Structure 1
């Protein structure tokens, strides 16, 4: 199947040759915006349909060859400055961090809580896009957590000084010393945006993060609508659904929205939830 270049040409061999000649790989000395502009990538042809965890593109490498990147190979994507933003934001129109911070900001205004008072745990923090959106509305204390060392390195490279602390950790088995360090931040808000499901952040990791948040704290999350349906086998539908029904999670904002486009240009719909922590999660 021939990829489709982001400038609208199809991904035939001739078009690839043109892109190879014009592509200049991003340098670590470039700004993030310059790197995003420089990168060249191509998607599968429009008629190709892939499940969300099997999506891919090809990217022009420094030696002029093209390399395939699966979208869930985040360690590889984070190593190239600007590639994450190029794929998900510039080409596929991801808007989840901005959208969810907007929902949170509305909820805070209704509750009379200043954003600058929040102490946020950003789970699945990646290279810091969520922290950037939080800072834009006044949040001054955000702690990042990701399972990948490449994510922390990318955050320090692309968005330095946004996080008060950043931990590389597996939240399905969080070491006691690391847990105590996180508790010392007196966290009262959990953000998990574009990271739940598909094996990236399983229910057990979400539960660990939730337990670090102070009672009556805020929980901000997005999740693909399929993970909240009765047929879900990931464990999220039961855990989150029952917690909402029991009142442990008090939903104050909930909207279905377009997370981004799939590679075939169809919309990927997610549930955006802003809630208060009123008790332990179900299960």
Structure 2
């Protein structure tokens, strides 16, 4: 049973669907204040996606229903009038629909994480007087290019995308053509020598991994491979759900990151706890944002 169309208000008729976007448990200004949403969740990317996003109709589960983040879902209206279910971690299906990723996570659930982290990185660069134009970033879990787009907005022009999904590469080329200097579709837990050399040729000085760690999407081994392709003294820009940094974490990230911090391999420059987005029940999902210098190998 779903009640929330486009994230705003109950869908009881086609007229309700058409008029959605003003009221409801996620959409009002009062709701944003109550839940402490970070930013407005307004996507500011290519205008070419605007019409696609506006045409999409998305319905969330009842607000009283609670799902783990790995099991969240919505339904999306199809051209024939039927509704199809999309799990949020079925990225290959979401990327196939122009504007759907932005519709779900930005317009409906108020994500502002890429902009937030790009600004945090820009602040860290300013503190060291480094020129953003000299940064060459490896964007891991690149998806359809939102993080690289935000980095470009703060002056970082050279980005190499890596994602395990060919659908992500296709979406990036469709929605943001020319954004990446190179986009590699690869499994970083089994990177072949040719692919490794191609990454090395870009002389990478930063790694960004935003809203992509944990949940089995990017395992620690893949993160370590990407990290190893960044020059010593370079930058690491990452977000991770606070649960994956807890003592009872079983993903491997808590140990890897805490060991990196204690050993000095990761030198934190900026670290903030923030609301990544809202869950489908309108509760905040809390993440850690870290900007660090790479000072050595991870154990």
TM-score range, shorter chain: over 0.9
> Alignment partner for residue 115 of structure 1, among 132, 151, 160?
132
Say if 2:23 is the partner of 1:6. Answer: no
1:223 aligns with 2:240: yes
Alpha-carbon distance in 2 for matches of 1:7, 1:92 = 7
How many Å apart are 1:15 and its aligned residue? 2.5
For the 8 Å contact 2:10–2:16, the answer to whether it is kept is no
In the alignment, which of 5, 13, 16 is matched to residue 15 of structure 1?
Answer: 13
Question: Residue by residue, what CA displacement relative to the aligned partner does 1:82-110 show, whole Å, maximum 9, x if unpaired?
Answer: 00000000000111100001110011001
Give the 5 Å matches for 1:235-274. Answer: 235-274=252-291
Instruction: Tell me how large the CA RMSD over aligned residues is.
Output: 1.6
Tell me, in whole angstroms, the C-alpha distance in 1 between the residues paired with 2:194 and 2:216.
25
Give the Cα–Cα distance (whole angstroms) in 1 for the partners of residues 297 and 221 of structure 2. 13
* d(CA) in 1 for partners of 2:138, 2:237: 10
Q: Deviations over 1:128-150 (max 9, x none)?
A: 00111011111111000000000
Q: Which residue of 1 aligns with 2:168?
A: 151
C-alpha separation in 2, matches of 1:33 and 1:135: 20
Between the aligned partners of 2:10 and 2:17, the Cα distance in structure 1 is: 11
Q: Offset at 1:17?
A: 8.2
Normalised by the length of structure 1, the TM-score is 0.93
Paired residues for 1:35-74 under 5 Å: 35-74=52-91
Partner of 1:96: 113
TM-score w.r.t. structure 2 length?
A: 0.88
Per the TM alignment, residue 199 of structure 1 is displaced from its structure 2 partner at its CA by 0.4
Structure 1 counterpart SS, 2:104: helix
Which residue does the alignment assign to 2:178? 161
Stretches of structure 2 lacking an aligned partner (at least 5 in a row): 21-46
CA contact 1:259–1:269 (8 Å) conserved in 2: yes
CA gap 1:38/1:220 in 2 versus in 1, 3 angstroms: same
Distance in 2 of aligned mates of 1:4 and 1:185: 45
Match status 1:140 vs 2:157: yes
Q: Is contact 2:73-2:88 (8 Å) kept?
A: yes
Q: Specify which of 201, 209, 220 is matched with residue 218 of structure 2.
A: 201
Task: For residue 3 of structure 1, report the CA deviation from its aligned partner.
Answer: 3.5
Which of structure 1's runs of 4+ aligned residues deviate more than 6 A?
A: none
Contact 1:260 1:268 in 2 (8 A): yes
Structure 2 distance, partners of 1:228, 1:198, is 13
Give the corresponding residue for 1:80: 97
The answer for unaligned runs of 5 or more in structure 1 is 23-29
